[in-house]
A and B are shown apart, each in its own frame.
Chain A
Amino acid sequence: MTVQPDEVVVTVTVNGETVRHLVDPRTTAADFLRDGLELTGTHLGCEHGVCGACTVLLDGRSVRSCILYAPQLDGCEVTTVEGLSPVPGELHPIQEAFRECHGLQCGFCTPGFLLTVHEFLSETKGADEDEIREAISGNLCRCTGYQGIVAAVQRADETWQR
């Protein structure tokens, strides 16, 4: 049995707010967000980097927060699903498009999809269906058959002013 290593300090800006926490270094970024910061919108579907439910933006890029560790967030900016909409109670155009197009059922995979799509649409306009399917292929959804999600990306591509 290894001796419990010391905790380390993490200073991270999450959804625009800078926080300082002591963490056990092995804490995954996902658990840190969920348990440490009580941002439970980030979900864990596999904890080995396959399903994409835990996807967040790290310095603007999508990453799997289940295979990232809390100390690695130090000095970084993180955006979670809770930070997508600038106005509490309102939905971001991507979120709105998911609602309009039935892009979710149980909602468990949804936060990861939203952030993946956010990155994709930030970089791309007018993508065709194949490109959209490729862009979201790293996120698993068990409910929708992806049809509503693809439609939502197409819708958000048009509605999101960016």
Chain B
Amino acid sequence: MAYSDKVVDHFNNPRNMGSFKKDEEGVGTGMVGAPECGDVMKLQIKVQNDMIVDAKFKTFGCGSAIASSSLATEWLKGKTIEEAQKIKNTDIVQELNLPPVKIHCSVLAEDAIKAALADYQKKADGTPTAAK
């Protein structure tokens, strides 16, 4: 399968690869997928005054999964919580030119964003975190 130039670029030069400490103030962590399905994404955001000031990812998966999560961190930075909620998997598909068999990678990235936001909200609301 031929990959788009953008997927190759994100794969070779992943943006914001790494981790924040899960218990750090303002950090929300989302982990989605399963090893037996061949992809697991961990996406983290760091929020200050309702603004996502930083984001990081780690992904086990194919090139498109890595590219989708790398792109997601790029998009998240500088967005407000509300804006971040609006990122759709179809935006990722379009930006990375993903073929139909790779659409699930973009879905996973959207799920990871939602999970990270929910985790942050939970922590901000003072309820116990569900971070794994």
Asked if A and B bind, the verdict is no
User: Which chain B residues have a beta carbon within 8 Å of chain A's beta carbons?
Assistant: none
User: Which chain A residues have a beta carbon within 8 Å of chain B's beta carbons?
Assistant: none
